Amino acid sequence: MSDAIKHECGIALIRLRKPYQYYIDKYETPLYAVHKLSVMMEKQVNRGQDGAGVANIKIDVPPGKRYISRYRSVEPQPLTDIFSKIHKKFRKGLKNHREHTNDAKWLQENLAFTGEVWLGHLRYGTHGSNEVENCHPMLRQSNWRSRNLVMAGNFNMTNVDELFGKLVSLGQHPKEKVDTVTVMEKIGHFLDEENQRVFERFKGIYENPTLSNVIEENIDLPRLLYRSCRDFDGGYAMCGLTGYGASFVIRDPAGIRPAFYYADDEVVVVASEKQAIKAAFNVDYNQIQEITPGSALIVDKNGEYNEFPILPQLEKRSCSFERIYFSRGTDPDIYNERKQLGKLLIPQILKEVNYDLENTIFSYIPNTAETAFLGMIEGLEEYLAKKRKQAIMEGILFEADLEKVLSFRPRIEKLVTKDVKSRTFITADALRDDMVSSVYDTTFEVVRKNVDTVVIIDDSIVRGTTLEKSILTMLDRLSPKKIVVASSAPQIRFPDCYGIDMSKMKDFVAFRAVLKLLEERDLEYLLEDTYMHSVTSIATKNPYHTNYVKALYEPFTDQEISDKIAEIIRPKDLNAELSVVFQTVDNLHKACPQHLGDWYFTGNYPTLGGNKVVNRAFANSHEGKLERAY
């Protein structure tokens, strides 16, 4: 995505199912879980570079010994910072106690990060400043071991105001009105209630400290999670660790956010991406399972695990952007889907180049679009194979013509290169344009001036600013006759509210194109109508049932919007012709048939809260407000 955006987060959970001594003996290191977690998190660093955190819980250590450890970091390389600190802690703790290096009991009583339950998190901040206090895992503490709660997640709630109000009605006084705090406090509240329920049940039968252990053995986590999550509206994969060692991962009922797990007799592990589990544990992909939407994977204090249905499932609408761009493309399913997305663009591309492949060069930007590019070239080869067969069947009179038909191959060049390893969106907005210009380099002397057409494929086009202010200008210096920008994703028309930083309508070049079209065709009254519907629905507390913003796109065809986008992103001094080709929604579904979450493109949100957010986002835009809509 040349217009890179902040998105998603990454989770990694490891539960050691055997005693700590087992791993020291078998793997000859007390750092087995540390190594595995670091691999899982490193393989998901694409999901979060603003910060990271790691938490660890020891099971059944004696009273008076620390049993919860946590490090968080917002340093430039947060993973390196965190795991360096953990290793340093081990070196310092063992400096004068080398004889205890392989003694699990001594290690657990004297060193942090020697527990059986591990939780890691990678953060992209879509809300709040980039401070360590905003990094997961979050910790809710208590002197009662069974009331402690550690949480991290990849989530965003659309109904934070309502959830905050529920907490206040329960008698709480939350310190912040953000979904991270609200979610943890809500689950924490019902964890407290569940503790009290079990305490009341057994208080006449057992005495402390035995009663504390009985409470831990009888806490009903599925019941607790149902009571906590039944009011949630959003996309989420949330991990929780209790102080006594039980853990859970709950996934939203529409399966919007991804979550996968693997289990054997030594470990239960969970991650946002299959590739992280594959890399850390070298298991076959068919051994990695998807957590069922609306269910919780629960691992009890004894290491036994199972999936429990928590909330009624909705139609599965897992995020299609995971497939287009966000997740690692080395996952075999995602790799094949991205190739298919490129291949399915071929009919539109051929039309734009007037089927003149001799005078067309194909390339891609950025590097993440390479897989879609390979699919596009594969599609071209299939097209050419059909043309060769047709030519032979029809009969070619001259040997030279036959040679030309048989030997022709698409022209492929690397025209734009990103020559530094920085992500342009991390730079402040005021400096971003200058940085974008400096991180891309152009290959000269391969384009025949004023003869060749250049087709360049991108993952998706969000704002169009990087194309307008840098890439198109660089390509124009090569003097092509025409530039065709092909997006493997459809037009992004509507905001996200489930964890991706796309919440402002005017950020979308497709929306800006529609505003221009409405103005040109004297249809601006539709803006006022949509605004009145939106603010009325919000004011009457009934904003959930209709996405009123869809009406603004209905008067125009996809092609009309694409043409207007091409006008908007065209630099003033561009000499070449310019056109923009977008994937169709139908083809997106063909390429990713199991991942139908397409609300960015269609406005068909998987939860009712999505309609509230899009209506509020439009109202904010119409009123000139730059704030988030959720």
Distance of CA 241 to the CA centre of its chain: 22
Both tokens assigned to 403: 């040679």
Q: Do 217 and 202 contact (CB within 8 A), yes or no? A: no
Q: E strands along 84-134, which residues?
A: 117-123
| pLDDT band, very low/low/confident/very high, at 429 (cuts 50, 70, 90) | very low
Q: Which pLDDT score is estimated for 158?
A: 87
For residues 515 and 509, give the distance between their C-alpha atoms in angstroms, rounded to a whole number: 10
Question: What is the per-residue DSSP string for 130-158?
Answer: S-GGGSSPEEE--SSGGG-EEEEEEEEES
Same-domain check for residues 462 and 392: yes
For residues 294 and 296, give the distance between their C-alpha atoms in angstroms, rounded to a whole number: 7
The amino acid present at 553, given as its one-letter code, is: Y
Same-domain check for residues 385 and 482: yes
For residues 16 and 163, give the distance between their C-alpha atoms in angstroms, rounded to a whole number: 34
Q: Cα dihedral sign for 462, 463, 466, 472?
A: positive
Strands 289-290 and 51-57: unpaired
Instruction: Check which CATH number belongs to the domain holding 473 and give it.
Output: 3.40.50.2020
| pLDDT band, very low/low/confident/very high, at 431 (cuts 50, 70, 90) | very low
Greatest alpha-carbon pair distance for the chain in Å reads: 100
Model pTM score: 0.91
Average of pLDDT values for 508-512?
96
Query: What percent of the chain clears pLDDT 70, i.e. is strictly above it?
Result: 92
Q: At what angle do helices 370-394 and 332-343 cross, to 10 degrees?
A: 50
Question: What is the per-residue DSSP string for 240-300?
Answer: EEETTS-EEEEE-TT--S--EEEE-SSEEEEESSHHHHHHHH---GGG-EEPPTTEEEEE-
Same-domain check for residues 302 and 395: no
Position 200 pLDDT exceeds 90: yes
Query: Does residue 3 lie in a domain region?
Result: no
| pLDDT band, very low/low/confident/very high, at 233 (cuts 50, 70, 90) | very high
The amino acid present at 558, given as its one-letter code, is: D
Same-domain check for residues 279 and 375: no
Q: Which pLDDT score is estimated for 134?
A: 86
For residues 425 and 433, give the distance between their C-alpha atoms in angstroms, rounded to a whole number: 10
Query: What percent of the chain clears pLDDT 90, i.e. is strictly above it?
Result: 75
Per-residue pLDDT of 401-412, as tens digits, reads: 777 777 889 999
Position 397 pLDDT exceeds 80: no
- Total domain count for the chain? 2
Residues 6+ apart with CB under 8 A from 436: 424, 466, 469, 470
- Of 476, 487, 482, give the one whose Cα is nearest residue 359: 482
Same-domain check for residues 385 and 243: no
Same-domain check for residues 169 and 195: yes
For residues 519 and 338, give the distance between their C-alpha atoms in angstroms, rounded to a whole number: 36
| pLDDT band, very low/low/confident/very high, at 399 (cuts 50, 70, 90) | low
Q: Which pLDDT score is estimated for 423?
A: 43
Q: Which pLDDT score is estimated for 5?
A: 54
Q: Cα dihedral sign for 281, 282, 285, 286?
A: negative
Same-domain check for residues 296 and 347: no
Average of pLDDT values for 602-623?
94
The last residue of one of the domains, among 284, 316, 348, is: 316
Query: Does residue 325 lie in a domain region?
Result: no
Same-domain check for residues 464 and 488: yes
Q: Do 576 and 475 contact (CB within 8 A), yes or no? A: yes
Q: Which pLDDT score is estimated for 374?
A: 97
Query: Does residue 410 lie in a domain region?
Result: yes
For residues 289 and 112, give the distance between their C-alpha atoms in angstroms, rounded to a whole number: 31
Phi, psi (5° rounding) for residue 197? -60, -45
Q: Cα angle at 177 between 530 and 245, to 5 degrees?
A: 125
Q: Do 492 and 502 contact (CB within 8 A), yes or no? A: yes
- Of 617, 586, 590, give the one whose Cα is nearest residue 602: 586
Question: What is the per-residue DSSP string for 377-439?
Answer: HHHHHHHHHHHHHHHHHH----HHHHHHHHH---EE---EEE-S---GGGS-HHHHHHHHHHH
What Rg value do the Cα atoms of the chain yield, rounded?
A: 27
Both tokens assigned to 578: 């310019």
Average of pLDDT values for 345-372?
95
Strands 453-458 and 482-487: parallel
Same-domain check for residues 267 and 369: no
- Other beta carbons within 10 angstroms of residue 325's beta carbon come to 24
Average of pLDDT values for 245-250?
98
Query: Does residue 630 lie in a domain region?
Result: no
Per-residue pLDDT of 262-301, as tens digits, reads: 999 999 999 999 999 999 999 999 999 999 999 999 999 9
Same-domain check for residues 302 and 334: no
Query: Does residue 450 lie in a domain region?
Result: yes
Same-domain check for residues 568 and 544: yes
Instruction: Check which CATH number belongs to the domain holding 146 and give it.
Output: 3.60.20.10
Same-domain check for residues 312 and 373: no
Residue reference for tokens 């205890």:
100
Q: Which pLDDT score is estimated for 427?
A: 41
Both tokens assigned to 378: 């594969």
The last residue of one of the domains, among 289, 316, 343, is: 316
For residues 599 and 493, give the distance between their C-alpha atoms in angstroms, rounded to a whole number: 9
For residues 614 and 503, give the distance between their C-alpha atoms in angstroms, rounded to a whole number: 8
| pLDDT band, very low/low/confident/very high, at 567 (cuts 50, 70, 90) | very high
Query: Does residue 5 lie in a domain region?
Result: no
Position 3 pLDDT exceeds 60: no
Per-residue pLDDT of 64-121, as tens digits, reads: 899 999 999 999 999 999 999 999 999 999 999 999 999 999 999 999 999 999 999 9
- Other beta carbons within 10 angstroms of residue 300's beta carbon come to 19
> Three-class SS string for 488-529?
CCCCCCCCCCCCECCCCHHHCHHHHHHHHHHHHCCCCHHHHH
Task: Give the CB-side neighbour count of residue 273, counting CA atoms within 13 A.
Answer: 31
Q: Report how far apart, in Å, the C-alpha atoms of 101 and of each of 85, 95, 97, 236, 317 are.
A: 18, 10, 7, 40, 49
Mean pLDDT is lowest, of 239-243, 412-416, 544-548, 609-613, for 544-548
Three-state secondary structure call for residue 321:
helix
**What residues make up the domain containing 397?**
330-623
- Other beta carbons within 10 angstroms of residue 279's beta carbon come to 19
Query: Does residue 481 lie in a domain region?
Result: yes
Q: Do 498 and 256 contact (CB within 8 A), yes or no? A: yes
Q: Report how far apart, in Å, the C-alpha atoms of 167 and of each of 249, 448, 543 are.
A: 22, 66, 22
The last residue of one of the domains, among 258, 286, 316, is: 316
DSSP state, 630? -
Both tokens assigned to 428: 């402040």
Q: Cα angle at 46 between 5 and 349, to 5 degrees?
A: 60
Q: Which pLDDT score is estimated for 443?
A: 83
Q: E strands along 101-246, which residues?
A: 117-123, 138-140, 149-157, 234-242
Q: Do 298 and 248 contact (CB within 8 A), yes or no? A: yes
Query: Does residue 424 lie in a domain region?
Result: yes
